[in-house]
Amino acid sequence: MMQDGLPGYEIKRVTKDVLKDLIPLYKVTFGKRYSIKYLQQKFNTAGFGSEYIGYIAYAGNKAVAFYTVFPCIMEYRGHLLLSAQSGDTMTHPDHRGKGLFLCLAQKTYELARIEGIKLVFGFPNSNSYNGFVKKLLWKHEENLVLYKIGINSLPLASVGAKHDTFRLIYNFYLKCILLFYKKVNTSISFNQNEEAIHIKYDTNYFTYKCYGNNFMLNISGVNIWLKIDGSLFIGDIEQKQGEDIESIIRQLKRFAFLIGCRQIIFSFTKETYWATHLSKHLTQKEGFPVAYYDMDSGLPLNKLEFSFSALDTF
């Protein structure tokens, strides 16, 4: 049953004007202080046909809970579908257990339907999994697979991610290292499987994802989408006939060593091109759940495919 609100709380739709109210809530729930510029970029999904799909719960004039989905375009056999990724679920510790998550999620899904969104997907962590699967009745049929490579390097990237003063020095050092690598135009294609349901990679999507401070390099002759945030996260890798996987891994290890990342992390849906190939060289572990809420997509959702780049934190 739809909940219009809860006693003692005021529910407002998220807009550009109230993003600033979320900054303290991010800090207390995630331990991170995001800038207003970062939030404006992350919520700027108008290019996909819909934006600001979410609600904030206020206690007095203080934001205490939040739920949102980030619109994007999914593609299947050339058919385009307005979808959205669930992200940034937050409830202040003093206001948990009062039904705010369920209330805000239900209102968000009602708004999503009005906006024409047909599918909501996400990668819930251990804290939010029960809420999505048991309360919101999301379907969870598989997990991403995860690959990690340890690097014997100085922890420059992790220190730079945690300390503001050192971050400036590290960013300068990183720019110097990147002078020796070829940056890639973001209009490239990653040759997605046409028989799978996947996020549509195009210039619009790559431009939007820049909020995460990720970029692309050509390493060992292959275009690789990556992000440095303490560790080296691999968002996706171009599928190129005749690529030398051992050389790609070797060159990524060298790059990680130079930039001071002590870990390289890959994550893909099971049985995808790169999951299959990496499994021949690296130990496979279980990653985040792949879950979804179908709003009349009409698609065979057992064919969903994702890489690390799909996560809203990338």
pLDDT digits (tens, 9 = 90+) for 60-70: 899 999 999 99
Q: Does the pTM exceed 0.95?
A: no
Q: Name the helix (H) or strand (E) containing 264.
A: strand 263-269
- Tens digits of residue pLDDT in 208-267: 998 888 999 999 989 999 999 999 999 999 988 778 999 999 999 999 999 999 999 999
* Structure tokens given for 115: 């906006």
Label residue 108 by pLDDT band (50, 70, 90): very high
pLDDT at 1 over 50: no
Q: Is-contact 119 112, C-beta < 8 A?
A: no
- Tens digits of residue pLDDT in 287-313: 999 999 999 999 999 999 999 999 999
Distance CA 236, CA 192 (A): 10
- Tens digits of residue pLDDT in 149-165: 999 999 999 998 888 78
List domains and CATH numbers for the chain.
10-117 (3.40.630.30), 145-288 (3.40.630)
Q: Is-contact 67 89, C-beta < 8 A?
A: yes
Instruction: Kindly give, in sequence order, each residue whose CB lies less than 8 Å from that of residue 134, ignoring residues fewer than 6 positions away.
Output: none
Q: Work out the mean pLDDT of the chain and round it to a whole number.
A: 92
Closest CA to 177 of 157, 159, 158, 148: 157
